[in-house]
């Protein structure tokens, strides 16, 4: 069996790891063993936090909708329930954007929810 010299492939693998850890602190972007650990942790955090970002954004939208709804004299839960009764299908991302940028349009949604809730109670 012929002899295999591994210098080129090893250097290529090391270089790939060191490029991915560029910007990490201290030995985490200089030494190959530490850099590999740092890269693996960074990739795990990135994978996990891509999912957590969705959770965080939904929470932010709900907070913004609740603040705008309370300015209009309504609770968040009542607003969502009223919109469901009125068959208004607007997702929370759009409602939060309306609450921040176009308060008049958001007030229309609140009125629709209030009329639907009033009709249900009557």
Predicted confidence (pLDDT) per residue in 31-90, tens digit: 999 999 999 999 999 999 999 999 999 999 999 999 999 999 999 999 999 999 999 999
Q: What percent of the chain has pLDDT over 70?
A: 100
Complete domains list, the chain, with CATH: 8-121 (1.10.1900.20)
Distance CA 99, CA 58 (A): 14
Residue-level pLDDT at 1: 86
Q: Rounded to a whole number, what is the distance in angstroms from the first to the last CA of the chain?
A: 90
Distance CA 19, CA 6 (A): 20
The more confidently predicted of residues 94 and 6 is 94
Q: What is the pTM of this model?
A: 0.80
How many of the other CB atoms lie within 10 Å of CB of 70? 12
Residue-level pLDDT at 52: 98
Indicate if the pLDDT at residue 19 is higher than 90.
yes
């Amino acid at each position: 069996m012929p002899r295999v010299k591994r210098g080129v492939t090893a250097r290529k693998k090391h270089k790939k790891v060191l490029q991915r850890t560029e910007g990490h602190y201290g030995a985490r972007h200089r030494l190959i063993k530490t850099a590999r650990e740092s890269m693996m942790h960074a990739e795990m955090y990135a994978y996990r936090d891509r999912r957590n970002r969705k959770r965080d954004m939904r929470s932010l939208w709900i907070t913004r909708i609740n603040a705008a709804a309370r300015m209009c004299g309504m609770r968040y839960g009542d607003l969502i329930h009223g919109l469901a009764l009125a068959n208004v299908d607007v997702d929370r991302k759009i409602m939060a954007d309306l609450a921040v940028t176009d308060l008049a349009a958001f007030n229309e949604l609140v009125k629709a929810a209030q009329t639907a809730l009033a009709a249900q109670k009557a």
